[in-house]
Amino acid sequence: MIGASISRWTMTYFAAALAWLFVALFMMVVGVGYPTADIASPDTLVLVHVTCIGWLSLAMCGALFQFVPVLVAKPLFAEKWALPALALLSVGLLSLLGGFLSLDGRLPTAFWSLPLGAVLLVAGFGLVVVDLGLTAWLRPTGPARFVLVGLACLGVTVVFGSFFAFALSGWAGSFGDTVLASGIPLHAIAGLGGWLTLTAMGVSYRLLAMFMLAPDVDDRQSRVTLAMGAMAVTFAVAGGALAIGLAAGLPIVLSIAALLGLVCAGLYGRDVAGIFRNRKRRQLELNMRMATLSFASLAGAALLGVALVFFDGFTPHVGAFAFLAVFGWLSGLVLAKLYKIVAFLTWLETYGPVMGRAPTPRVQDLVAENRATKWFVVYYAAVWLGTVALLAGEPTAFRVAAAAMTVGVVGIVHEIVRIRRLCDVASPLRLPAGAVPPHLLFARN
């Protein structure tokens, strides 16, 4: 990536995403949403969308605006769309949350804010999909193919979500009520399984190989992994929609899709193991060590899902399964990679202009891994304890675990801010003549 351009608004996306993560953590700590409330309650809908749109989707979009051009060795189709997309997504999410809160009277009745939020989110994600999709389409390499499929799943997720928003506001008629009653699992699978998981897999291939100096995953292997994941999501969404239309067979469809998803997770584990095995950098950096805990959480979520189905306990414990997948696998991986990405992009932005003309620090000189390690350990341990608390039906213990997660995230974010401010760089190398002092919230062009 030496010489690559820096996406101006990637840090802004990261900052907004982390702010929403703190909102989600606060809600869990004070007992708003599941498990204190029913899993289908308006409070839980707020928590789910704050986490999946505000935190994970904004973080993923910010990373993709930076790394999709790297994957295809081409500039973004429209760099100037990134900021308007962020504005539309932020306002749209706020409007959607207001609509959810009005469902149970927490806010004055304003059901119109649900359709408004849906329209704004469609517009914001539409800019993201077109910009990134046209960029990745120019050279669909292995990781870029994952991104393209993930973006297609994002489109499906947004369409489902928009339909639900109109149905909840009473603007979709009786058919809307029917789809709303059965279609939520399809919406979740397209979003979590397709958009977030498949995209995270594709980006992780490139980042793992790049940061560990390993060869890229064999293209045929990654194609099979992607095909299995795409089949799982497609079978769930298309087959599930058909089953809803016929009013029969939805559990069978979802079971087959789950089996395909397990195969995809296994193949992904094989690919990741190959990257670790063939790496040239033998000493693992902190972000890689912590990423292994995310992969362990993914494996744990898969095993938990199988066990719950086997013992006929998936439905009552679906919240525990989703929590481990969202906060152990996806959020853990995003936090681990943010730690490295922010350091790497800050190093490129600050010292790229003087490379070869003045002494500069290494990327590792921007971080203090020994100090940061404990915060990641606190975070992952708290997620696993929170999963156990949900399985045991102990909401108070879960809130304690959420508080511990918050402590871990505060520590991680503090370390990321220190990286951005060059706090751990020795003063003689911190800002040589010609270096670009980084701004906390955006890259200087």
Query: Token pair of 244, please?
Result: 């809803």
- The closest alpha carbon to 234, from 212, 257, 215, 216, belongs to 257
Which of 113, 139, 165 is the endpoint of a domain?
139
The reply to whether 33 falls in a domain is: yes
> By the 8 A CB rule, do 77 and 136 touch?
no
Tally of structural domains, the chain: 2
Mean pLDDT in residue range 235-253: 84
The reply to whether 200 falls in a domain is: no
Q: What is the pLDDT of residues 290-302, one digit of tens each?
A: 999 999 999 999 9
Please give the pLDDT value at position 440: 84
Please give the pLDDT value at position 2: 46
Mean pLDDT in residue range 195-222: 91
Please give the pLDDT value at position 3: 45
**Where is average pLDDT lowest: 16-30, 82-96, 164-178?**
164-178
Task: State whether residue 245 is helix, strand or coil.
Answer: helix
The reply to whether 294 falls in a domain is: no
Q: CA-CA distance, 386 to 438, in Å (whole number)? A: 37
Please give the pLDDT value at position 172: 62
Please give the pLDDT value at position 57: 97
Given a cut of 80, whether residue 174 has pLDDT beyond it is no
The reply to whether 211 falls in a domain is: no
The reply to whether 284 falls in a domain is: no
Q: Using H for helix, E for strand and C for coil, what is the string for 140-179?
A: CCHHHHHHHHHHHHHHHHHHHHHHHHHHHCCCCHHHHHHH
Please give the pLDDT value at position 28: 97
CA quadruple 355, 360, 362, 368: dihedral positive or negative? Answer: negative
Measure the CA dihedral 288/145/129/301, to 10°. -50
Please give the pLDDT value at position 431: 87
> By the 8 A CB rule, do 144 and 68 touch?
yes
The reply to whether 293 falls in a domain is: no
Mean pLDDT in residue range 322-336: 96
Q: Which residue has the higher pLDDT, 435 or 269?
A: 269
Which of 139, 165, 195 is the endpoint of a domain?
139
pLDDT grade for 185, boundaries at 50, 70 and 90 = confident
Task: State whether residue 393 is helix, strand or coil.
Answer: coil
Q: CA-CA distance, 442 to 422, in Å (whole number)? A: 15
The reply to whether 427 falls in a domain is: yes
Which of 117, 139, 161 is the endpoint of a domain?
139
Measure the CA dihedral 80/82/85/90, to 10°. -130
pTM of the predicted model as reported, rounded to 2 decimal places: 0.94
For residue 91, give its domain range: 1-139
Q: CA-CA distance, 164 to 160, in Å (whole number)? A: 6
Q: Which residue has the higher pLDDT, 315 or 419?
A: 419
pLDDT grade for 163, boundaries at 50, 70 and 90 = confident
- The closest alpha carbon to 99, from 45, 58, 31, 51, belongs to 45
Q: CA-CA distance, 204 to 275, in Å (whole number)? A: 10
Q: Report angle CA 328, 329, 330 to the nearest 5 degrees.
A: 110
Q: Tokens 């696998």 — which residue?
A: 329
Given a cut of 80, whether residue 421 has pLDDT beyond it is yes
Q: What is the pLDDT of residues 25-35, one digit of tens each?
A: 999 999 999 99
Average pLDDT, rounded, for the chain = 91
Q: CA-CA distance, 297 to 285, in Å (whole number)? A: 19
The reply to whether 179 falls in a domain is: no
Q: Which residue has the higher pLDDT, 20 or 445?
A: 20
- Beta strands, E only, 154-302: none
pLDDT grade for 75, boundaries at 50, 70 and 90 = confident
